[in-house]
Structure 1
Amino acid sequence: MCGRLAVTLPDDAMAQLFDAQPGNDLPEVPNHNVCPTTRVHVIWNQGANRRLGAMRWGFIPYWYKAANDGPLLINARAETIADKPAFKAACRTRRCLIPASGFYEWTKDAEGGRDPWYIHARDQSTLAFAGIWQDWTLAGETTRSCAIVTTGANAAISQIHHRMPVIIAPQDWALWLGEQGKGAATLMRAAPEQALGFYRVDRTVNSNRATGADLIKPLSC
């Protein structure tokens, strides 16, 4: 599961990092509380070039009669992505990278309260989540949407949640984007335990309306 992100890298730095041509419709950054159905930064391959643009976070299958015509598909399970009717074409030909500074997961306390955790790269680098995308058209208007690919969590992250995003290492970006032939399926695995760090943050982030850099500050005990 991955249901909330933080993105703090400026657009020009993001374009340079991924060697991508930026669009003019990019979401505002920094955003420490990126939520499903909003627009997210996405890198995909367009011909011989990489593009950096915005897509709706929430994959819309082509048969949906409305964007909310079925389940909200923000994640696609690596174990079944090649077989699911909603995802199987996209995982072959429409793979993308979804950059983030970190993401949130939740545990429950003894009273059932939801305690948020912020998960990030230990070296503070930008994470690149494996994603898939799809164009969906209704009444002549096209929405480009995406989902984050998830897999079973590594031992460290499983203390918080049993699933985690598939994180693509820089040396594998080209393979995931389809620039280096076949073999992308081998990348759909959990990141090494030592790659990620995590800490508790304030419950303020439990609201999808919360904003600001304080959302990713370590909780003071």
Structure 2
Amino acid sequence: MCGRYALTLPQEAMVQMFDAAPANDLPQGPRWNVCPTTQIPVVRAGGEGRALVSMRWGFLPHWYTSPTDGPLLINARAETVAEKPAFRTACRERRCLIPADGFYEWTKAADGTRLPWYFTQADGAPMVFAGIWQDWGPENLATCAIVSCAAGPTMSEIHHREPVTLAPSDWGLWLGEEGKGAARLMQAAPEGRVRRHRVSRAVNSNRAEGPELIEPLIDEDDI
């Protein structure tokens, strides 16, 4: 599962990292609390190479008559993404990379309070989520979803799902640049790739922003 994440990489860094041509309408950063339905930077492949473009986080199947015509599809389950009518063509033909610094997930205290955790790459490198995308509507609005899978060791104590994260050596295969076989990439991160720490409950608000949201929690009153 991935319902919120942080992205502070400058556009120039993403262009260089992915060797991608940037679009003119990329959303401005940094952003420490990226929420569903907002525009996010996404890397997709094309005939002229990779492009860094803006997409709505929230996949819209072609039969939706409006963005609110059905469930908000921010994640696509790895186990069924190739079969579900909403996702199967995109899984086969339109896969993408979604860069992030890290993502948030929540546990619950005994009184029901939501307690946020922040997950990052253990080596400090940016995360890259496996995604799928689709143009929707008469204006061809580009929309996307993050592929999720059963949680691995680092994640399973917090949540039963996690976003599929890709190593740089896997980017080309996921984008379809290296032929078939991308299905094997839809699995949990290997043990040791991801680390986590508790963060302030301030991030529970989807309007919160700022670097303090990802700082390790030190206030005992917020545990």
Asked if TM exceeds 0.5, the reply is: yes
What amino acid maps onto 1:55 in structure 2? Answer: M
**In the alignment, structure 1 residue 143 sits paired with structure 2 residue 126:** no
CA distance in 1, matches of 2:92, 2:143: 16
Q: Residue 35 of structure 1 corresponds to which residue in structure 2?
A: 35
**In the alignment, structure 1 residue 96 sits paired with structure 2 residue 96:** yes
What amino acid maps onto 2:208 in structure 1? Answer: A
Q: Residue 123 of structure 1 corresponds to which residue in structure 2?
A: 123
Q: TM-score, normalised by structure 1?
A: 0.98
1:187-206 equivalence runs, <5 A: 187-206=185-204
Shift of 1:142: 2.0
Over aligned residue pairs, what C-alpha RMSD do you find? 0.7
Q: Residue 165 of structure 1 corresponds to which residue in structure 2?
A: 163
CA distance in 1, matches of 2:154, 2:132: 26
Shift of 1:48: 3.6
CA distance in 2, matches of 1:25, 1:162: 35
2:184 match: secondary structure: helix
CA distance in 1, matches of 2:56, 2:191: 30
Q: Residue 57 of structure 1 corresponds to which residue in structure 2?
A: 57
What amino acid maps onto 1:70 in structure 2? Answer: G
What amino acid maps onto 1:211 in structure 2? Answer: E
Which 4+ residue blocks in structure 1 deviate beyond 4 angstroms?
Answer: none
CA distance in 1, matches of 2:65, 2:14: 34
Q: Residue 86 of structure 2 corresponds to which residue in structure 1?
A: 86
- In structure 1, list runs of 5 or more residues that go unmatched: none
Q: Residue 183 of structure 1 corresponds to which residue in structure 2?
A: 181
What amino acid maps onto 2:131 in structure 1? Answer: G
1:147 match: secondary structure: strand
Q: TM-score, normalised by structure 2?
A: 0.97
What amino acid maps onto 2:14 in structure 1? Answer: M
Question: How many residue pairs get matched?
Answer: 219
- In structure 2, list runs of 5 or more residues that go unmatched: none
Q: Residue 21 of structure 2 corresponds to which residue in structure 1?
A: 21
Q: Residue 12 of structure 2 corresponds to which residue in structure 1?
A: 12
Shift of 1:27: 1.1
Q: Deviations over 1:28-59 (max 9, x none)?
A: 11100000000111000011400001100000
CA distance in 1, matches of 2:128, 2:69: 29
